Structure 1
Amino acid sequence: MNKEELIAKLIREGYIARKEVAEAMLKVPREEFVPEELRPYAYEDRPLPIGEGQTISAPHMVAYMIEAAGIKRGDKVLEVGTGSGYHAAVMAEVVGPEGHVFTIERIPELAERAKERLERLGYGDRVTVYVGDGSKGIPEEAPFDKIIVTAAAKEIPEELLRQLKPGGIMVIPVEEAPGFQVLYRVHKSPDGKIRIEKLLPVMFVPLVSDS
C-alpha cells in the first residue's frame, strides 16, 4: 500500500474526518520515521518497532487521536511520548507555523534521534523535543490547548490535568484492568471542571513514571 492509498482507506473507515488532517498525513513521510529495514512497511496500517522496546503508532491511531483532540491551526500541543517523532510531525502540519508542538520522551536515545529527524525534515521551528518523565509534562511551557499521550497510564496524571488549559482537551490511553486499555478524551471546562469520555479499547506501551 502506498501513502495515498493508506490515507484514502483511513478516510473511508472514518478515522480521518477533516481535510487538514488528511493533508498533514499526506505531507509527512512516515518512511523517514521507521528503521531502514522496515521502510517497505511504512504505509501499512500497523505499529512498527523503532528500538528501545518502543513502537511507532499505527497511522489510523495517529489520525484518530488528532481528530479526537480536535487539534487545529494555531494550537499549542503537548505530546507525551515522542517515540520516532512521527506523531509530532503530523501534529506540526496541522497546527501550522502559528502553533507549536512540545513533545517529551523519557528515553534520551529516542529523543535525540527524533529531534535530528524533525529538524532535518523541516519541523524544527514548530516542534520542541524534551527529555524527561512525560507524566510530569512540561510545566515551564504550560498551559496547553491540547495534550496527546501515546503511552498507557494507570490513571490520568494530575500534573497533566493542571497543565491543560481551561477549555482544553487531553486524549490519553488508561489501563482500566490488567491487559485492558481504553482511550479517554478528557475535557477541561472553562471553569476547570473535568469531564471524561471513553472512546475505544486500545493497546499502547505503558507510561513509565520516575515517581
Structure 2
Amino acid sequence: MDAVSSAFEAVPRAGFLPPASQWRADLDAPILIGHGQTNSQPRTVEAMLRLLDVRPGQRVLDVGSGSGWTTALLGHLVGPTGTVIGVELEPALVLWGRANLRRTRFTWADIHQAEPGTLGRPAEAPYDRVLVSAEAREVPQALLDQLGEEGRMVLPVAGLMTLVVRVGEEVVTSWHGHYRFVPLR
C-alpha cells in the first residue's frame, strides 16, 4: 500500500466530522463542518496529497486546517521525525480541530489560530511542503515566501488545482484539474 492510501486507512474521516454527519464519512463529497467551512471530499484530498508528495521527516504547513483531518493525514505522512503546523482562521474550528487531532497519536502535528491578515505561519518557515485547502485568486506570494528549497505547495487557484515547486530560485507551476473550494481569506 502506498503512503497516501496508508494515511487514509490510518486516519478515518468520521472522527473529523460533526457527530450528526459522521454517517456520511464514506461519501465522496464535501461535508459542512460549520462556520461556512467544509471537510473536503476524500477524492480531492487524495489528489492534493499525491501532488504534495509528502515524505517522512518533512516540515509541512497546512493552511485552512478546519476539522483537523488534513493535519492528521499529513501527520501520518511525515511520521514522528516530521512536523505539521496547521493554521485555521475560525476560532471555533481551531478548538475543534485541535481536539480531533489530540485523539490521534500524531503529537508532532498541531493546529494554531491564524493571525488575521497573515497567511500561513511565517515565523516558523521555511516549510518543505505547504497544503492550502481554500481557493486563492492567484498564488499567494506570502506562502511562496514560506516555501523552502525543493519545496512543493498545492492549492486551488481560480478553480484549478495548482502545484508550485521551488527549485533553487526557480518556481515551476503546473495545473491539475478543476476544483471548487471555499475562498482563502
TM bucket, shorter chain: over 0.9
Determine which of 137, 146, 163 is the counterpart of 1:185: 163
Asked if 1:127 corresponds to 2:109, the answer is yes
Asked if 1:56 corresponds to 2:39, the answer is yes
Q: State the match for 2:121 in structure 1.
A: 138
Asked if 1:196 corresponds to 2:170, the answer is no
Q: Does the 8 Å CA contact 2:139/2:157 hold for their aligned counterparts? A: yes
Cα offset, 1:29, TM superposition: 2.1
RMSD over aligned Cα atoms: 1.3
More helix per residue: 1
Q: State the match for 1:163 in structure 2.
A: 146
Partner secondary structure for residue 136 of structure 1: coil
Structure 1 gaps, min length 5: 1-17, 176-180
- TM normalised by structure 1 equals 0.84
Alpha-carbon distance in 1 for matches of 2:117, 2:57: 23
Instruction: Give per-residue Cα distances to partners, 1:86-109, cap 9 Å, x unaligned.
Output: 011111111110111111000010
For the pair shown, the structure with the greater C-alpha radius of gyration is 1
Q: Residues 53-92 of structure 1: matches in 2 within 5 Å?
A: 53-92=36-75
Q: Does the 8 Å CA contact 2:71/2:110 hold for their aligned counterparts? A: no
What is the number of equivalent residue pairs in this alignment?
A: 184
Instruction: Give per-residue Cα distances to partners, 1:109-146, cap 9 Å, x unaligned.
Output: 001110011112232x1112111148521111100000
Structure 2 gaps, min length 5: none
- TM normalised by structure 2 equals 0.95
4+ runs of 1 displaced by more than 6 Å?
A: none
Q: State the match for 1:41 in structure 2.
A: 24
Q: Does the 8 Å CA contact 1:80/1:134 hold for their aligned counterparts? A: no
Partner secondary structure for residue 64 of structure 1: helix
Partner secondary structure for residue 101 of structure 1: strand
Give the % identical residues: 35
